[in-house]
Structure 1
């Protein structure tokens, strides 16, 4: 604020018209705002804490995928990984509580979606580990299983598996 007062005093000393003085002050204010915005934007962009991940899948999921994908292909299926639950099922239209139900599925994902050649979900697969024994994870899995069952989408859970078991299970969906 003091800077503006000094500028106004100097402008008055120079016998510059008030219109011209207003334009000069406006230009100075806009330049100051732009400099401030650029400073904060540059600082913000430089501070982004993101980096590329090496693989979409954990080591265990990658091993399972390497086994599942060729078996699924033999059956005419395609395998998608880490598919968002809200991209597999949706809340029925016209519900007043739509947002509440959508919020429950929007941030969850399924490990593997086995799809038809037309990309219609045929069966979903969750690769369960010890984390699925935790209370919150059990509740999450129960909710997801109920939601999928209500929507008519089958889901398989595997802790242990064999190529023969996967082949047999997928052939049930032909």
Structure 2
């Protein structure tokens, strides 16, 4: 594949699926700087992988898998560097007003998703984007029945936590 063709495909996919990538990134990186870093990592991985795409699945499914795997690796690497250290970004946020979502329920949901482990976080995002258990199973390498159990527990936990929230979920 020529580099110009690879770049063209990459740009088309990025334009069409940017929101999908940002959902994953926002669920794994919590500061603007980290989100930018993770976005760059995901884009680099997608760009490198363009020639390997064989159309065995939908582009969105394939990109989701790349984004999730990259985010999980990035998250693990970042956690090793930050364990036991207070983040400078958190200290700076004390002096600045927080950017709030237009709907505070979405902010609440992202806050809840942040509390999940990497697998549950990934499953939650896939569920919210309407992927079937079969598709999730293919992406995550987990059996469909295990997906069902995990999603049941996630829904139960979110429902319980939402009872403390003013609007409920």
Q: TM-score, structure 1 length as denominator?
A: 0.26
More strand by share: 1
Who wins on radius of gyration, i.e. which is larger?
A: 1
Point out which structure has higher relative CO (alpha carbons under 8 A, 6+ apart).
Answer: 2
Q: TM-score, structure 2 length as denominator?
A: 0.26
